Chains A and B, each alone.
Chain A
């Protein structure tokens, strides 16, 4: 009887081990398929014209230049706005009010904003900026992306600053440094790598966001760097082109998808490497 039970237990173990192996293999295989499909279809669109020409009407030759520039502008400005806000808010949570009630509430709210559907953020920015300005604009897109990036930067800044041992801060205080100098000259310097990682992750996240841009910056067929009007951007262009029946548009959609995925993956890997470097140092 003992024998039989032991045999059954080992058999169950082997079965579950086998299942989990199959599952892991399946998931990795799926990831591989997605990336392979992306590469196969997207690489055909990678030519100089992709970067030099603007989006064409169906049946015409063209590229994604205006969308790339628009995305770069909105992502760049979005991060430029989000970083100070996120870093300072994270600083407050980690340095000034670590265990206070306010901090708990803000942390909770921050996490909600972090995982909130980005389309809701788009609705919010539509309600305030687009309706307020009276038209779609790149600025609305910038603000939507910034709002998505802020919680990420707040989170990572707070986490990184919390990791710094208080002994460092106390040493500074012992030397007579004012609080703000302790934070800026000691804490920031020590956590710089980590905060930078957080910013990189935020960039990676907002580079791929489509839904909020649908209601804010809309899209623009032509070359334009005017933030005060609808601005072309990669995700919305991909959305529009992929669901269209035109072959040349679909090819451009894959090309744009490859560009975005490549950028996001590289940023993630860089962020990971820099975090590892920091951990080692």
Chain B
């Protein structure tokens, strides 16, 4: 018995060592985790980048809260968050932050017979729905905005995020700006929602809304497109009705003063402008200023440099707006702050 056990264990050890040797020959993947907001475009970029350079990006779409946590714990090479970190936090942890793309948060609904763009909502109505004050679809406040749309006499199934989310942060920021009642809930990546179900990630919210009749949720526009969800138009700060598009996102970003906030942490919600989409948001990357793995850091910055230079068209295909060239130039210059432990810049 011991003999055969010995044989087994010898075979086992050989197998394991073969695997270990095999793993040594792998191309290194850079790892990142965080926001689900930009995940569709990051995934697309990663695919193209791997085809071009052979280097893979392992991005775990776990929510901005998760991204911040993982980069703080140094379990990943970069973190991704659409809730920008405050300057004081960036400095105390030693992180560099830069924006990658901009996108739109859109409300999505699941109502029979209602097509994408057929309905419209304004900020205050949206806030009241999420506060639980507006409970039914045929509520006069919704009906007033949507004359001609057949709204059923059924309860609204509110869907929000169950995980720590930058999308939530930007959404709550907007609601807080347009409805004074929202202050009871607050603005953060994780909230104590008064009503509703929680979905995990933009993916989870999309799935829940897609499956539940009478549901409303908030997702990044690419998710609404990819999953054929019914998005609504919004009434912006200037009182004009706008649809989510490259144009309306660019209009919202036009007035942004990118150097005004530390780590370029500008919030683009509720921007003035007749064509501006009211729930625009930028999404950010977090890397350590002092790197103990400088070769990895170089690969990370190479990837994002490639994304800035060559990824624009792919982003626009998914209705993400690339950062303006002036910002890209500023960011690339700031990358010289990313150094290894001896003070040498990694790039």
Report A-chain residues with C-beta under 8 Å of the C-beta of B50: 222
Residue of A nearest to B74 (CB): A134
Q: Quick check: B23 and A243 within 8 Å, CB to CB?
A: no
Dominant SS among interface residues on chain B: helix
Per-residue CB proximity of B66-85 to A under 8 Å, as 1/0?
A: 00000001111000000000
Query: Taking the complex as formed, is B44 at the interface, i.e. its CB lies under 8 A from any CB of chain A?
Result: yes
Report A-chain residues with C-beta under 8 Å of the C-beta of B59: 221
Q: Quick check: B40 and A58 within 8 Å, CB to CB?
A: yes
A246 to B226, CA, bound (A): 8
Query: Taking the complex as formed, is B47 at the interface, i.e. its CB lies under 8 A from any CB of chain A?
Result: yes
Least distance between B199 CB and chain A CB atoms (Å): 8
Least distance between B267 CB and chain A CB atoms (Å): 27
Interface stretch (choices B123-131, B139-147, B201-209, B319-327) = B201-209
Q: Which of B2, B47, B74, B203 contacts A245 (CB 8 A)?
A: B203
Q: Quick check: A243 and B207 within 8 Å, CB to CB?
A: yes
Least distance between A227 CB and chain B CB atoms (Å): 7
Query: Taking the complex as formed, is B93 at the interface, i.e. its CB lies under 8 A from any CB of chain A?
Result: no
Report A-chain residues with C-beta under 8 Å of the C-beta of B229: 245
Most-contacted residue by chain A among B22, B23, B74, B76 (CB, 10 A): B23
Report B-chain residues with C-beta under 8 Å of the C-beta of A60: 47
CB contacts between A and B, total, < 8 Å: 77
Query: Taking the complex as formed, is A57 at the interface, i.e. its CB lies under 8 A from any CB of chain B?
Result: yes
Q: Quick check: B2 and A184 within 8 Å, CB to CB?
A: yes
| Known A-B contacts A184-B1, A230-B60; A73 and B19 likewise in contact (beta carbons under 8 Å) | yes
Q: Quick check: B73 and A134 within 8 Å, CB to CB?
A: yes
Report A-chain residues with C-beta under 8 Å of the C-beta of B47: 57, 60
Q: Quick check: A189 and B1 within 8 Å, CB to CB?
A: yes
Residue of B nearest to A187 (CB): B1
Q: Quick check: B58 and A230 within 8 Å, CB to CB?
A: yes
Residues of B in contact with A, size category: 35 or more
Query: Taking the complex as formed, is B154 at the interface, i.e. its CB lies under 8 A from any CB of chain A?
Result: no
Q: Quick check: A57 and B75 within 8 Å, CB to CB?
A: no
A58 to B206, CA, bound (A): 13
Query: Taking the complex as formed, is B46 at the interface, i.e. its CB lies under 8 A from any CB of chain A?
Result: yes
A73 to B16, CA, bound (A): 9
Q: Quick check: B46 and A57 within 8 Å, CB to CB?
A: yes
Q: Quick check: B207 and A225 within 8 Å, CB to CB?
A: no
A142 to B10, CA, bound (A): 19
A220 to B76, CA, bound (A): 12
Query: Taking the complex as formed, is B114 at the interface, i.e. its CB lies under 8 A from any CB of chain A?
Result: no
Report B-chain residues with C-beta under 8 Å of the C-beta of A226: 23, 26
Query: Taking the complex as formed, is A77 at the interface, i.e. its CB lies under 8 A from any CB of chain B?
Result: yes
Query: Taking the complex as formed, is B31 at the interface, i.e. its CB lies under 8 A from any CB of chain A?
Result: yes
Q: Quick check: B26 and A225 within 8 Å, CB to CB?
A: yes
Query: Taking the complex as formed, is A12 at the interface, i.e. its CB lies under 8 A from any CB of chain B?
Result: no
Residue of B nearest to A226 (CB): B23
Q: Which of A58, A184, A188, A222 contacts B58 (CB 8 A)?
A: A222
Residues of A in contact with B, size category: 20 to 34
A46 to B238, CA, bound (A): 53
Query: Taking the complex as formed, is B171 at the interface, i.e. its CB lies under 8 A from any CB of chain A?
Result: no
Query: Taking the complex as formed, is A210 at the interface, i.e. its CB lies under 8 A from any CB of chain B?
Result: no
| Known A-B contacts A57-B46, A58-B43, A77-B16; A245 and B1 likewise in contact (beta carbons under 8 Å) | no
Residue of A nearest to B204 (CB): A243
Q: Quick check: A57 and B22 within 8 Å, CB to CB?
A: no
Q: Quick check: B226 and A59 within 8 Å, CB to CB?
A: yes
Least distance between A212 CB and chain B CB atoms (Å): 17
Report A-chain residues with C-beta under 8 Å of the C-beta of B199: 243
Residue of A nearest to B229 (CB): A245
Query: Taking the complex as formed, is A224 at the interface, i.e. its CB lies under 8 A from any CB of chain B?
Result: yes
Query: Taking the complex as formed, is B223 at the interface, i.e. its CB lies under 8 A from any CB of chain A?
Result: yes
Q: Quick check: B19 and A225 within 8 Å, CB to CB?
A: yes
Query: Taking the complex as formed, is B12 at the interface, i.e. its CB lies under 8 A from any CB of chain A?
Result: yes
A192 to B44, CA, bound (A): 52
Query: Taking the complex as formed, is A9 at the interface, i.e. its CB lies under 8 A from any CB of chain B?
Result: no
Q: Quick check: B75 and A134 within 8 Å, CB to CB?
A: yes
Least distance between A94 CB and chain B CB atoms (Å): 15
Report B-chain residues with C-beta under 8 Å of the C-beta of A225: 19, 22-23, 26
Report A-chain residues with C-beta under 8 Å of the C-beta of B227: 245-246
| Known A-B contacts A220-B58, A226-B26; A245 and B43 likewise in contact (beta carbons under 8 Å) | no
Query: Taking the complex as formed, is A14 at the interface, i.e. its CB lies under 8 A from any CB of chain B?
Result: no
A14 to B76, CA, bound (A): 65
| Known A-B contacts A134-B75, A192-B1, A229-B31; A80 and B12 likewise in contact (beta carbons under 8 Å) | yes
Report B-chain residues with C-beta under 8 Å of the C-beta of A227: 19-20, 23
Least distance between A257 CB and chain B CB atoms (Å): 16
Query: Taking the complex as formed, is A135 at the interface, i.e. its CB lies under 8 A from any CB of chain B?
Result: yes
Query: Taking the complex as formed, is B56 at the interface, i.e. its CB lies under 8 A from any CB of chain A?
Result: yes
Query: Taking the complex as formed, is B265 at the interface, i.e. its CB lies under 8 A from any CB of chain A?
Result: no
Query: Taking the complex as formed, is B29 at the interface, i.e. its CB lies under 8 A from any CB of chain A?
Result: yes
Within A203-236, the residues touching B (CB, 8 Å) are: 218-222, 224-230
A189 to B31, CA, bound (A): 48
A109 to B39, CA, bound (A): 44
Per-residue CB proximity of A122-151 to B under 8 Å, as 1/0?
A: 000000001000111000000000000000
Chain A contacts to B: CB under 8 angstroms: 57-60, 73, 77, 80, 130, 134-136, 184-185, 188-189, 192, 218-222, 224-230, 243-246
What are 17 A-B interface contacts by the 8 Å CB criterion? A57-B44, A57-B46, A58-B43, A58-B226, A130-B75, A134-B74, A135-B74, A184-B1, A221-B59, A222-B50, A225-B19, A226-B23, A226-B26, A227-B23, A229-B29, A245-B229, A246-B203
Chain B contacts to A: CB under 8 angstroms: 1-2, 12, 16, 19-20, 22-23, 26, 29, 31, 40, 43-44, 46-47, 50, 56, 58-60, 73-76, 199-200, 203-204, 206-207, 210, 223, 226-227, 229
A sample of 7 more A-B contacts (CB under 8 A), given A60-B47, A134-B75, is A134-B74, A221-B59, A222-B50, A224-B29, A243-B199, A245-B210, A246-B227
